[in-house]
Chain A
């Protein structure tokens, strides 16, 4: 029995017609598939799922920036908040802090004063940072001032914009139990409390999936 050269599909012997049909289909398929795929891609609403795992003021930005921008582009966006990421769903986001301690990549600059002062990079050793009382509080204040000065949105505003644009906020129930949180601590807009088995199928269907 003869087989098709490329696909290996068996062709019944002596049927020239079958062979002709098979070749014709191959020919058509090649030409039409690309157009058909482009059509399908164009008709599909792009989607993105994000896993937010960090709960500090600095790391609060990437998930909300990407989610709100994705929504502005017309994408379906969901964020799954797990572990420290749950802090980003608290009613009051003003308590988020940033710590330069053990964070060597964080630029330490003053947001006020003359330009020469603002451009100084303050290299404070970890051992010293850890001894200064209320150091994190001070660093957070400086960071918030820098955020304000540079026209970056306050994190609460970005979260509101996400909600307004229809971004789904999903919370990890396991973490809620683990850290002893109560649902009342979180904003009522949290769409659902669920686990990995709910999130993964969503991520599987998404065009973009990010872990932050």
Chain B
């Protein structure tokens, strides 16, 4: 998937992946896509909830070599 910025949140625990995602989204403009890579298993549910709450659509959520990979679109 095409993306405009990548955030490496590997090795970070709750709530850091979400906080860093929020910060990274702030640097994007509307319509741009952020890729987030995390290792915290809790981030799968949390990223979904974050997307719903903030209105930034979660385009995809998946696993890649033990990493969790998310694509978020800035609203």
Contact = CB atoms under 8 A, between A and B. Distances in A.
B18 A65 contact: no
B15 A74 contact: no
A161 B54 CA distance: 18
A72 interface: yes
Contacts of B54: 72-74
B12 A73 contact: no
A153 interface: yes
B-side interface size class: 10 to 19
Dominant secondary structure at the A interface: loop
A131 to B, nearest CB: 34
A200 interface: no
Contacts of A65: 14-15
Given A65-B14, A150-B13, A151-B12, A72 B19 contact: yes
25 contacts: A65-B14, A65-B15, A68-B15, A68-B19, A69-B18, A69-B19, A72-B19, A72-B21, A72-B22, A72-B50, A72-B54, A73-B50, A73-B53, A73-B54, A74-B54, A150-B13, A151-B12, A151-B13, A151-B16, A151-B40, A152-B13, A153-B12, A153-B13, A153-B16, A161-B19
